[in-house]
Amino acid sequence: MALNDVPPDCDFKMDFETIATFRARPRMDVAAVASELTSIGRWFYQQKWVLGTSGNFSAVLSREPFRMLITASGVHKGTMTPDNFLQVDSSGKAVGGKQHPSAEMLIHLTIISELNAGSILHTHSVWGTILSEAHAVSGGLMIQGYEMLKGLSGIRTHEYEEWLPILENSQDYTELSKSLSLVLREKPGIHGFLLRNHGLYTWGSNIEEAKRHVEIFEFLLEVIGRRQTITSSIP
């Protein structure tokens, strides 16, 4: 799919210009990819999904040699500029530039390695945080029956059962990456996971798909969370 998602802008004409520009640029263009992730960051920020310096985004620029563009460490994801990104190689080493990658980069590399994903987006929402704690003892959350599930890659029916694992958070990202690799191998077909009290990671074959997955999961997490606040059946 060639459509690049640009969050709603007040400047109506700008929307069409920006979208046309994105469509005209080659996918591997660093500036275009950075712009797209910047726009996504602004939209996520408006939803309060990347407050403070939370969240991080990546996109594969090339496979041979491997180059991944990722948000720099300590950067506010809602107000990024072109110098807030850096390129890393397959070992996670920064290529050029002066920025330092966040340790969470290892998670991105793990997902790409295990699933050949094209883009990974990590959000840190209120409902994602709440549910990651509320269902931690179960090791995850089974989501089923929602039409919204059909928006996940490869899913064609609302009767699908999507398992959303919850991993324990850790500052040791090397160990965390190992745990993640095991989960991704044990549960092929999943589309995301939660880090306990840390938020959602999801991915796609490209940025657009990853963003769509974020919106779907954040929607479902809010629905499930709010359902747990219902006390009365009387409308």
Smallest distance from a copy of itself to CB 46, Å: 6
Smallest distance from a copy of itself to CB 27, Å: 18
Of the ranges 26-34, 108-116, 181-189, 215-223, which one interacts with a copy of itself (CB under 8 A)? 215-223
Closest CB to a copy of itself among residues 58, 99: 99
State which of positions 161-190 bind a copy of itself (CB under 8 A).
169, 171
Site string for a copy of itself, 79-98 (x = CB under 8 A): x-x-----------------
- 133 lies in the site for a copy of itself, by CB under 8 A: yes
Structure tokens at 119: 């883009």
Query: Mapped to the 3 state alphabet, what secondary structure does the chain carry?
Result: CCCCCCCCCCCHHHHHHHHHHHHHCCCCCHHHHHHHHHHHHHHHHHCCCCCCCCCEEEEEEECCCCEEEEEECCCCCCCCCHHHEEEECCCCCEECCCCCECCCHHHHHHHHHHHCCCEEEEECCHHHHHHHHHCHHHCEEEEECCHHHHHCCCCCCCCCEEEEEEECCCCCHHHHHHHHHHHHHHCCCCCEEEECCCEEEEEECCHHHHHHHHHHHHHHHHHHHHHCCCCCCCC
Of the ranges 56-64, 91-99, 109-117, 119-127, which one interacts with a copy of itself (CB under 8 A)? 119-127
State which of positions 9-38 bind a copy of itself (CB under 8 A).
9-16, 18-19
- 103 lies in the site for a copy of itself, by CB under 8 A: no
- 2 lies in the site for a copy of itself, by CB under 8 A: no
- 195 lies in the site for a copy of itself, by CB under 8 A: yes
Of the ranges 25-33, 60-68, 73-81, 186-194, which one interacts with a copy of itself (CB under 8 A)? 73-81
Quick one: which of 26, 52, 154, 188 contacts a copy of itself (CB under 8 A)?
52
Smallest distance from a copy of itself to CB 36, Å: 12
Smallest distance from a copy of itself to CB 12, Å: 6
